[in-house]
C-alpha cells in the first residue's frame, strides 16, 4: 500500500472516531416564560431547555514527506478564526459560517442594544428567523439578556390586544389591559388617566367626539401653516397653496406677488429683480443696464429731441405660477 493511501485511511479512521466518541454535551438551562395569571398581571414560569456547548474536532496534520496537505478549515466570517462553525438555524440552506462565540455575541447585542425580539440569521444570503429555543440556546447563561428577551416578546403579544394601552405618563413605562367600560384608562401604577380611543393623556373637559373635531381643526391649521401663504394684498389675505410653476403667483383677487418673498410683482415686472426683497433668491442688487441703440430720424422731432422717449419693457422670467386659493379656517 502506498504512503499516500495509508495517510488517507488513517485520516478516515480519525474522522470516524471523532464522530463516534465526541458528542455535544447537553446541560439544562432555566429560562423564564411569561404566562397570563389574570387581568393586568404576568409572572415568570421556570422551564428547562438544552443549551449549546462547543466541543473540539480533531484536525489533520500535513505530511511534508508525502506531499499531502489537507484543505484549510473555513474560518468564521465574523472573527476570522478557524473554529467549529454553525448554521444559526436548522432551516439555513447555506454552509456553516459563524462560530458559537460570535453567534452568542450577535444574539445578546441584538437584544440588549437593539431591543429586537425577532432575530434573523446573520448571513447576508439568508433571511431565516431564529426560533425562541435557538435564541435562548445561543445566549448561554446570560440571565439578564434572557429576561429582556422575554419582556420584549411579552410587549409584542400585549400590544396585539386592542384593549391594551401603555401609560401616557413618560416617567411610568407601564401598560395594562383595559376593560371596555369607558374610554378613560387609569394606570394601576401611577394613576395617570389616559384616553384609550386617542392614545393620549385624558382630554379633561372634552368628550371623545369633541376632542376628535378639535384635532381635525388643529390638523387643518397645521396644514395651512406648513403649506400655504396668505395673499399679501391688504384687501385680501386669503391662504394660497402653490401647486406648480414659478414663484410668480396670481391670487384669485388678481394681486400678483413673488411666492418666495411676497413682494409685489408689478414693480418687479416693470423695473427688474432688484425690487424683490433683499433676502429673496430672485433678488438682483443692481438694476439692468439699457442696451444702447441708434435713434432713427423718424423718431426725432424738429427740435432734435427724441419723439418717443425710450422705455424698458419686462417680460416674465418664466410662465406665471399656478396657485389655488384655500378657504379661510376661522
Side-chain-facing half-sphere of 246: CA atoms under 13 Å: 12
Over residues 24-41, the mean pLDDT reads 39
Higher pLDDT, 300 or 225: 225
- Per-residue pLDDT at 127: 81
Predicted pLDDT at 22: 37
Domain termination residue (choose one: 102, 137, 159): 159
Q: Are 178 and 163 in contact (CB under 8 A)?
A: yes
On whether residue 263 sits in a domain, the answer given is yes
Segment 41-71, tens digit of pLDDT? 333 333 444 444 444 555 555 555 655 556 6
Q: Closest Cα partner for 7 from 53, 68, 55?
A: 68
Q: Is the pLDDT of residue 271 over 50?
A: yes
Taking the C-alpha atoms of residue 95 and residue 41, their distance in angstroms, rounded to an integer, is: 44
- Is the Cα dihedral 222, 226, 228, 230 positive or negative? positive
- Asked if pLDDT for residue 311 goes beyond 60, the answer is no
Looking at per-residue pLDDT, the higher value among 130 and 330 belongs to: 130
pLDDT of 273 higher than 80: yes
Which sign does the torsion angle of CA 250, 255, 258, 262 carry? Answer: negative
Best mean pLDDT range from 83-87, 114-118, 258-262: 258-262
262-to-188, 248, 250, 281, 296 alpha-carbon distances in Å: 55, 9, 11, 12, 41
Same domain, 174 and 110: no
Inside any domain, residue 248:
yes
Domain encompassing residue 105: 23-54+71-159
Most confident range, picked from 99-103, 116-120, 236-240: 99-103
**pLDDT score, position 136:** 87
Residue pair 129/123 in contact (Cβ under 8 Å)? The answer is no
Query: Does 28 score more than 90 pLDDT?
Result: no
Domain count, the chain: 3
Within-domain flag for 17: no
Domain membership of residue 191 (yes or no) is yes
The candidate with the shortest Cα–Cα distance to 91, out of 124, 58, 127, 135, is 127
Q: How far is CA 52 from CA 25, 133, 140, 142, 190, in A?
A: 7, 11, 7, 13, 42
With respect to residue 305, please indicate whether it lies within any of the assigned structural domains.
Answer: no
- Give the three cell numbers for residue 89: 438555524
Q: Does one domain contain both 194 and 235? A: no
Predicted pLDDT of residue 309:
43
Q: Return d(Cα 297, Cα 94) in angstroms, integer.
A: 92
Instruction: Supply the pLDDT for residue 82.
Output: 82
The number of beta carbons lying within 10 Å of the beta carbon of residue 12 is: 10
What pLDDT, on a 0 to 100 scale, did the predictor assign at position 264? Answer: 92
Q: Are residues 282 and 315 in the same domain?
A: yes
Establish if 299 belongs to a structural domain. Answer: no
- Which of 60-74, 240-254, 262-276 has the largest mean confidence? 262-276
Q: pLDDT at position 258, please?
A: 93
Mean pLDDT over residues 143-167, rounded? 84
- The DSSP output letter for 306 is B
User: Is 59 part of a structural domain of the chain?
Assistant: no
Residue 147 sits in the same domain as residue 171: no
The band of 165, judged by pLDDT with boundaries at 50, 70 and 90, is confident
More confident residue, 56 or 320: 56
Q: Identify whether residues 41 and 149 lie together within a single domain.
A: yes
Between residues 78 and 13, which one has the greater pLDDT?
78
Query: What's the confidence (pLDDT) of residue 287?
Result: 65
184 and 242 in one domain? no
Select the more confidently predicted residue: 256 or 326. Answer: 256
Q: Write down which residue in 130, 159, 188 finishes a domain.
A: 159
Mean predicted confidence (pLDDT) in 233-239 = 82
Amino acid at each position: 500500500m502506498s504512503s499516500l493511501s495509508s495517510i488517507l485511511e488513517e485520516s478516515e479512521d480519525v474522522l470516524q472516531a471523532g464522530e463516534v466518541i465526541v458528542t455535544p454535551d447537553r446541560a439544562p438551562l432555566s429560562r423564564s416564560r411569561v404566562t397570563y395569571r389574570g387581568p393586568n398581571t404576568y409572572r415568570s414560569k421556570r422551564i428547562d431547555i438544552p443549551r449549546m456547548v462547543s466541543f473540539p474536532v480533531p484536525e489533520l496534520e500535513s505530511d511534508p514527506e508525502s506531499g499531502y496537505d489537507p484543505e484549510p478549515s473555513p474560518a468564521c466570517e465574523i472573527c476570522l478564526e478557524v473554529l467549529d462553525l454553525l448554521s444559526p438555524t436548522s432551516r439555513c440552506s447555506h454552509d456553516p459560517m459563524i462560530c458559537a462565540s460570535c453567534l452568542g455575541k450577535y444574539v445578546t447585542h441584538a437584544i440588549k442594544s437593539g431591543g429586537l425580539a425577532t432575530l434573523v440569521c446573520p448571513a447576508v444570503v439568508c433571511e431565516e428567523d431564529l426560533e425562541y429555543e435557538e435564541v435562548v440556546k445561543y445566549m448561554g447563561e446570560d440571565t439578564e439578556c434572557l429576561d429582556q428577551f422575554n419582556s420584549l416578546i411579552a410587549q409584542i403579544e400585549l400590544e396585539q390586544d386592542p384593549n391594551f394601552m401603555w401609560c401616557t405618563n413618560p416617567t411610568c413605562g407601564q401598560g395594562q389591559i383595559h376593560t371596555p367600560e369607558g374610554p378613560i384608562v387609569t394606570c394601576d401604577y401611577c394613576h395617570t388617566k389616559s384616553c384609550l380611543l386617542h392614545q393620549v393623556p385624558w382630554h379633561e373637559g372634552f368628550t371623545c367626539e369633541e376632542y376628535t373635531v378639535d384635532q381635525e381643526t388643529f390638523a387643518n391649521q397645521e396644514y395651512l401653516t406648513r403649506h400655504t401663504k396668505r395673499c399679501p394684498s391688504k384687501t385680501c389675505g386669503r391662504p394660497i397653496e402653490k401647486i406648480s410653476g414659478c414663484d410668480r403667483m396670481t391670487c384669485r383677487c388678481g394681486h400678483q406677488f413673488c411666492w418666495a418673498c411676497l413682494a409685489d410683482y408689478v414693480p418687479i415686472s416693470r423695473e427688474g429683480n432688484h425690487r424683490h426683497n433683499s433676502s429673496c433668491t430672485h433678488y438682483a442688487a443692481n438694476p439692468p443696464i439699457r442696451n444702447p441703440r441708434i435713434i432713427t430720424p423718424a423718431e426725432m422731432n424738429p427740435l432734435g429731441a427724441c419723439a418717443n422717449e425710450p422705455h424698458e419693457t419686462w417680460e416674465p422670467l418664466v410662465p406665471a405660477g399656478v396657485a389655488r386659493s384655500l378657504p379661510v379656517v376661522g
